[in-house]
Structure 1
Amino acid sequence: MASVLPTFEYDIFISYRHNDNRSGWVTDFVNALQEELAATIKEPLSIYFDKNPHDGLLETHNVDKSLEGKLKCLIFIPIISQTYCDPKSFAWRHEFCAFNKLAKEDQFGRDIKLNHGNVASRILPIKIHDLDADDKSIIEEEINGVLRAIDFIFSSTGVSRPLTTTDKREDNSNKTFYRDQINKVARSVKDLVSAMQKPSVATIAANSADRAIATSKRKRIAVNAAGILAISIVAFSFFYFFGFGRRMDPKIDKSIAVLPFVDMSPGKDQEYLGDGIAEDIITALSRIKGLKVIGRTSSFQFKGEKTDLRDVGEKLNVFNVLEGSVMKSGNKIRITAQLINVSDGVQIWSERFDREMDDIFAIHDEISKAISDKMKISLMGNHTQSDRKPTSSTEAFENCLRGNQILRPGKGNEAMPFFKKAIQLDSSYADAYTGLAWSYFFSREGDLPETFDQMYPLAMKVLELNPESEAPHAILYEIYSVYKWNWKIANEEYRKYLSINPLPLVGHALYKAQIFGDVRGGIKELEQNLEVDPINKGVLRLLGSLYGMDNQFAKGKELINKVIEMDPAYGFSYIDLAAINIRAGEYDQALKILERIDKLSGQKGFYSNLFRLSALVKAGRMEQAKKLYATMDLSKPNDSIGSYLTPSSKAKVEFWMGHMDEGFRWMEKAFDQKEFDVLTIRSNPAYDVIRDHPRFKEFMKKVPFPPID
Structure 2
Amino acid sequence: MIRDDQEMLARLQQLVEENLGNEQFGVGDLSRSVGISRSHLHRKLRAAAGQSVSQFIREYRLRKALDLLKEGQHTVSEVAYLVGFSSATYFSRCFANLYGHPPSKTDKVEPFGQEAGPPGQVKMQWKKSISSKRVWMLVLLAILLPYTVFFVIQLSGRSKANGVMTKSVAILPFENLSDEPSNAYFTMGVGEAIARKLSAIADLRVVSKTAMFLEGESKESLVDIANKLNTFYLLKGSVQKFGDMIRVEVGLVNGKTGHWIWADNFDREFDDIFQIQNEIAEKVALHMEITLSPEVRSKLNLGYTNNSVAYDLYMKAHYEFTTYTRAGYTRAHEYVKQAIELDSSFALAYSLQGNIAIAKGSMFGVELDAMEALSQAMISIRKALEIEPDLPEAHAVKGFYHLYSDWDFKKAEQAYKKGIETFNTEGYALYVDYLNFAGRHKEALEMAQRLEYIEPYYPNTRMILCLFYNQQIDEAREFAQSRLRVVRNYLTMDSYGFVLLNSGDHQEAIRIFQQIFELENIRYPRILGWMGAAYARSGQPVRARELIDELKQHRALNSAGSPAFFIAVIHAAMDETEDALHWLSVAIDDHEMEIPWLTTEPQFYQLHQHKDFRAMVKKVGFPGT
TM-score by length of 2: 0.70
Is 1:368 aligned to residue 281 of structure 2? yes
Is 1:529 aligned to residue 451 of structure 2? yes
Distance in 2 of aligned mates of 1:664 and 1:252: 52
Please identify, of 357-366 and 308-317, the stretch whose mean Cα deviation from structure 2 is larger.
308-317
Q: Which residue of 2 aligns with 1:287?
A: 200
Distance in 2 of aligned mates of 1:560 and 1:655: 26
> SS state of the match for residue 554, structure 2?
coil
Distance in 2 of aligned mates of 1:295 and 1:265: 22
Question: Which residue of the other structure, out of 435, 442, 445, is the alignment partner of 1:512?
Answer: 435
Q: Which residue of 2 aligns with 1:611?
A: 530
Distance in 2 of aligned mates of 1:433 and 1:377: 32
> SS state of the match for residue 251, structure 2?
strand
CA drift at 1:278: 0.6
- Letter of the 2:249 counterpart: T
Question: Which residue of the other structure, out of 402, 411, 414, is the alignment partner of 1:480?
Answer: 402
> SS state of the match for residue 322, structure 1?
strand
- 1:691/1:293 CA distance change after superposition, 3 Å: closer
> SS state of the match for residue 291, structure 2?
helix
> SS state of the match for residue 637, structure 1?
helix
Question: Which residue of the other structure, out of 470, 474, 478, is the alignment partner of 1:558?
Answer: 478
Q: Which residue of 2 aligns with 1:570?
A: 489
CA drift at 1:566: 1.0
Q: Which residue of 1 aligns with 2:242?
A: 329
Q: Identify, as 1 or 2, the structure richer in helix.
A: 2
Question: What runs of 5+ residues in structure 1 fail to find an aligned partner?
Answer: 1-82, 97-124, 153-161, 163-181, 193-202, 204-210, 224-230
- 1:699/1:437 CA distance change after superposition, 3 Å: closer
Q: Which residue of 2 aligns with 1:110?
A: none
Distance in 1 of aligned mates of 2:606 and 2:434: 22
Is 1:549 aligned to residue 466 of structure 2? no
Is 1:302 aligned to residue 214 of structure 2? yes
- 1:253/1:86 CA distance change after superposition, 3 Å: same
CA drift at 1:239: 3.3
**Bigger radius of gyration:** 1
- The answer to whether the 8 Å contact 1:146/1:337 transfers is no
> SS state of the match for residue 248, structure 2?
strand
TM-score by length of 1: 0.63
CA drift at 1:406: 0.8
- 1:688/1:330 CA distance change after superposition, 3 Å: closer
- Letter of the 1:475 counterpart: V
- 1:281/1:127 CA distance change after superposition, 3 Å: farther
Is 1:680 aligned to residue 597 of structure 2? yes
Q: Which residue of 2 aligns with 1:429?
A: 346
- The answer to whether the 8 Å contact 2:321/2:329 transfers is yes
Distance in 2 of aligned mates of 1:150 and 1:296: 25
- The answer to whether the 8 Å contact 1:289/1:376 transfers is no
- Letter of the 2:339 counterpart: A
Please identify, of 483-492 and 433-442, the stretch whose mean Cα deviation from structure 2 is larger.
483-492
- 1:400/1:602 CA distance change after superposition, 3 Å: closer
CA drift at 1:290: 3.2
- The answer to whether the 8 Å contact 1:87/1:93 transfers is no
Question: Which residue of the other structure, out of 418, 443, 448, is the alignment partner of 2:335?
Answer: 418
- The answer to whether the 8 Å contact 1:287/1:372 transfers is no
- 1:374/1:431 CA distance change after superposition, 3 Å: farther
Residues 642-668 of structure 1: CA distance to partner in whole angstroms, max 9, x if unpaired?
994632111212333355554344323
Distance in 1 of aligned mates of 2:411 and 2:164: 46
Q: Which residue of 2 aligns with 1:165?
A: none
Please identify, of 211-220 and 268-277, the stretch whose mean Cα deviation from structure 2 is larger.
211-220
Distance in 1 of aligned mates of 2:588 and 2:178: 51
- Letter of the 1:403 counterpart: A
Two-structure CA RMSD over aligned residues (Å): 4.8
CA drift at 1:506: 1.5
Q: Which residue of 1 aligns with 2:167?
A: 254
> SS state of the match for residue 485, structure 2?
helix
Residues 34-81 of structure 1: CA distance to partner in whole angstroms, max 9, x if unpaired?
xxxxxxxxxxxxxxxxxxxxxxxxxxxxxxxxxxxxxxxxxxxxxxxx
- 1:552/1:403 CA distance change after superposition, 3 Å: same
- Percent identity of the aligned residues? 21
CA drift at 1:538: 2.1
Q: Which residue of 1 aligns with 2:542?
A: 626
Distance in 2 of aligned mates of 1:89 and 1:151: 15
CA drift at 1:355: 1.5
- 1:467/1:420 CA distance change after superposition, 3 Å: same
Distance in 1 of aligned mates of 2:417 and 2:513: 40
Q: Which residue of 2 aligns with 1:397?
A: 311
- 1:590/1:342 CA distance change after superposition, 3 Å: same
- The answer to whether the 8 Å contact 2:210/2:458 transfers is yes
Is 1:669 aligned to residue 577 of structure 2? no
- 1:631/1:241 CA distance change after superposition, 3 Å: same
Distance in 2 of aligned mates of 1:707 and 1:595: 38
**Counterpart mapping for 1:157-236 below 5 A:** 215=131
